[in-house]
Amino acid sequence: MKEPIIAVQLYTLREFTRTPEDLKKTFQKVKEMGYNAVQVSAIGPMEPQFVKETADEAGLTICATHIGFDRLQNDIDSVISQHKLWDCKYVGIGSMPDSYRTSREGYVQFAKEASEYGKKLAEHGLTLIYHNHNFEFRKFGDKTGIEILFEESDPAAFQFEIDTYWVQSGGADPIEWIKKVQGRMDVVHYKDMAISDNNQQIMAEVGEGNLNWKGILTACNEIGATWCAVEQDVCQRDPFESLQISRNNLAAMGCRF
């Protein structure tokens, strides 16, 4: 079994992907840092054909995306055509809309609706993936929101994209959840957690915080993950420098790029 490939989640670099010119420069920098794949998220308005050509020019694979749930609800045909153009199999929902988050019934409804869109995507060779934050670990009765999603969604149409930081932030074990969704997760988010000088949880470069990376990497290998995207929503330094630190640390851990 091959180890997963490490990619960059472009949300980390969202301030540097607002224009076509910025995107071109950013893709070149990402490649020069030693990454070979990106997850496209939070880029400025630009033609999908330009994004594809720019990624190809830089030698980067578009391995996954994050889009708003409303695009699946209102414009699924363009979502399909965009991902086919990009040779990108994984259609990511970056977050659940607020309206579904307040009750067990809302989670069930979201799981069912997302599964239906996942079925439509699957007809075109695409896979729906869902990225968690910490709010999914709120309990509704005896079940957390993410447990409801796991149980009420269609395993054949709804995959997970476990974010290591947000699972820990939600009071759960990232390794346990990586193993729990085996067979339903090809893309993982790598994000570390540290404690700031004023004793607050902060996001850190992979390997610079307190998460159990030996266990996380082993678990991702064991479940057969395909891609692991480095994401840092908030950086304590230049985001490119943060991504370089994460890349160097993961390379030292034996990861594949």
Mean pLDDT of 122-142: 98
Query: For the domain that residue 238 is a member of, what is the CATH number?
Result: 3.20.20.150
pLDDT of 242 over the 80 cut: yes
Strand partners, 183: none
**What span, in angstroms and rounded, lies between the C-alpha atoms of 254 and 257?**
10
- Answer yes or no: is 127 within a domain: yes
Whether 12 is in a domain gets the answer yes
Predicted TM-score (pTM) of this structure = 0.97
Give pLDDT, residue 47: 97
Residue type, 235: C
Question: Residue 91: pLDDT above 80?
Answer: yes
Evaluate whether residue 170 is within a structural domain: yes
- Can you tell me the distance from the alpha carbon of 178 to that of 34, in angstroms, rounded to the nearest whole number? 26
> In terms of Cα–Cα distance, which of 222, 225, 224, 230 is closest to 248?
230
Tokens of 225: 């993950």
Helices (H), 59-103: 69-74, 76-85
Distance CA 68, CA 88 (A): 17
Residues 66-95: what's their mean pLDDT? 98
Single-letter amino acid code for the residue at 89 = K
The confidence band for 37, taking pLDDT boundaries of 50, 70 and 90, is: very high
Q: Calculate mean pLDDT across residues 180-208.
A: 98
Q: Identify the domain containing residue 186 by its residue range.
A: 5-252
Residues with Cβ < 8 Å from 200, sequence gap 6 or more?
Answer: none
Domain presence at residue 192: yes
Q: Does the pLDDT of residue 85 top 70, yes or no?
A: yes
Instruction: Read off the tokens for 229.
Output: 């995207």
Q: How confident is the model at residue 24 (pLDDT cuts 50, 70, 90)?
A: very high
Residue 257 resides in a domain:
no
Q: Report pLDDT digits (tens) over 159-182.
A: 999 999 999 999 999 999 999 999
Q: Cα separations (Å) of 251 from 5, 33, 46, 248?
A: 11, 12, 33, 5
What band does 71 get if pLDDT is binned at 50, 70 and 90?
Answer: very high
What's the confidence (pLDDT) of residue 60?
98
| Count of structural domains within the chain | 1
User: What pLDDT sits at residue 2?
Assistant: 78
